[in-house]
Amino acid sequence: MGILALLNHVVNFAAPALWLALLLPWAVRFLPGKKAPVFSLPAQFARIFLAGLVVLALGLALLGQDGKMMTYLALVVTAASAQWFMRKG
Protein backbone atom coordinates (compact mmCIF):
# COMPACT_ATOMS: atom_id res chain seq x y z
CA MET A 1 0.00 0.00 0.00
CA GLY A 2 1.41 3.35 -1.00
CA ILE A 3 1.48 6.46 1.14
CA LEU A 4 -1.43 8.06 -0.71
CA ALA A 5 -3.61 4.98 -0.26
CA LEU A 6 -2.72 4.86 3.44
CA LEU A 7 -3.56 8.55 3.81
CA ASN A 8 -6.87 7.96 2.03
CA HIS A 9 -7.72 5.13 4.44
CA VAL A 10 -6.85 7.21 7.50
CA VAL A 11 -8.88 10.21 6.31
CA ASN A 12 -11.90 8.05 5.50
CA PHE A 13 -11.58 6.25 8.84
CA ALA A 14 -11.65 9.53 10.77
CA ALA A 15 -14.28 11.28 8.61
CA PRO A 16 -17.37 10.28 10.67
CA ALA A 17 -15.79 11.54 13.89
CA LEU A 18 -14.66 14.73 12.15
CA TRP A 19 -18.07 15.62 10.73
CA LEU A 20 -19.85 14.81 13.97
CA ALA A 21 -17.38 16.93 15.93
CA LEU A 22 -17.77 19.84 13.50
CA LEU A 23 -21.57 19.84 13.32
CA LEU A 24 -22.68 18.86 16.83
CA PRO A 25 -21.50 21.94 18.78
CA TRP A 26 -23.20 24.27 16.29
CA ALA A 27 -26.39 22.23 16.10
CA VAL A 28 -26.73 22.25 19.89
CA ARG A 29 -26.88 26.04 19.86
CA PHE A 30 -30.27 25.87 18.10
CA LEU A 31 -31.89 23.68 20.77
CA PRO A 32 -34.25 25.33 23.23
CA GLY A 33 -32.86 26.25 26.62
CA LYS A 34 -30.35 28.74 27.86
CA LYS A 35 -27.52 26.45 28.87
CA ALA A 36 -24.25 28.13 28.02
CA PRO A 37 -21.36 25.98 26.82
CA VAL A 38 -18.57 25.49 29.32
CA PHE A 39 -15.93 25.23 26.59
CA SER A 40 -15.27 27.22 23.43
CA LEU A 41 -16.15 25.80 20.00
CA PRO A 42 -12.56 24.66 19.25
CA ALA A 43 -12.34 22.94 22.64
CA GLN A 44 -15.66 21.19 22.07
CA PHE A 45 -14.56 20.15 18.59
CA ALA A 46 -11.27 18.73 19.88
CA ARG A 47 -12.87 16.77 22.72
CA ILE A 48 -15.63 15.28 20.58
CA PHE A 49 -13.21 14.47 17.75
CA LEU A 50 -10.75 12.70 20.07
CA ALA A 51 -13.54 10.78 21.79
CA GLY A 52 -14.88 9.77 18.37
CA LEU A 53 -11.49 8.57 17.18
CA VAL A 54 -11.12 6.46 20.32
CA VAL A 55 -14.55 4.90 19.75
CA LEU A 56 -13.79 4.18 16.09
CA ALA A 57 -10.43 2.62 16.99
CA LEU A 58 -12.05 0.48 19.69
CA GLY A 59 -14.74 -0.61 17.27
CA LEU A 60 -12.11 -1.62 14.76
CA ALA A 61 -10.10 -3.48 17.39
CA LEU A 62 -13.04 -5.27 19.02
CA LEU A 63 -15.13 -6.05 15.94
CA GLY A 64 -12.24 -6.65 13.56
CA GLN A 65 -13.74 -4.57 10.78
CA ASP A 66 -14.28 -0.89 10.14
CA GLY A 67 -17.73 0.42 9.32
CA LYS A 68 -19.92 -1.70 11.57
CA MET A 69 -23.19 -0.05 12.53
CA MET A 70 -22.56 -0.85 16.22
CA THR A 71 -19.41 1.26 16.05
CA TYR A 72 -21.29 4.18 14.47
CA LEU A 73 -24.00 3.89 17.11
CA ALA A 74 -21.35 4.02 19.83
CA LEU A 75 -19.78 7.02 18.08
CA VAL A 76 -23.04 8.97 18.09
CA VAL A 77 -23.83 8.09 21.71
CA THR A 78 -20.31 9.04 22.81
CA ALA A 79 -20.33 12.34 20.93
CA ALA A 80 -23.77 13.28 22.25
CA SER A 81 -22.75 12.35 25.80
CA ALA A 82 -19.56 14.38 25.52
CA GLN A 83 -21.52 17.38 24.25
CA TRP A 84 -24.06 16.98 27.05
CA PHE A 85 -21.31 16.90 29.71
CA MET A 86 -19.75 20.05 28.24
CA ARG A 87 -22.88 22.12 28.89
CA LYS A 88 -23.61 23.94 32.14
CA GLY A 89 -26.29 22.31 34.21
* Cα gap 80→86, rounded to integer Å: 10
Expressed as residue numbers, the domain containing 58 is 13-85
Write the DSSP assignment of 43-59 as a string of letters: HHHHHHHHHHHHHHHHH
17-45 in b/e burial notation, b at 16+ Cβ within 10 A? beebbeebbeebeeeeeeeeeeeeeeebb
Q: Let me know if 84 is exposed, middle or buried by CB neighbors in 10 A (0-12, 13-18, 19+).
A: exposed
In a domain, 2, yes or no: no
What pLDDT, in 10s, does the model give residues 44-87? Answer: 999 999 999 999 999 999 999 888 899 999 999 999 999 988 87
Whether 6 is in a domain gets the answer no
Examine the pLDDT at 10 and tell me if it is beyond 90: yes
* Number of folded domains that form the chain: 1
Question: Does a structural domain hold residue 35?
Answer: yes
Q: Write down the pLDDT at residue 88.
A: 65
pLDDT at 35: 72
Asked if the structure places residue 3 within a domain, the reply is no
Residue 34 confidence class, pLDDT cut points 50, 70, 90: low
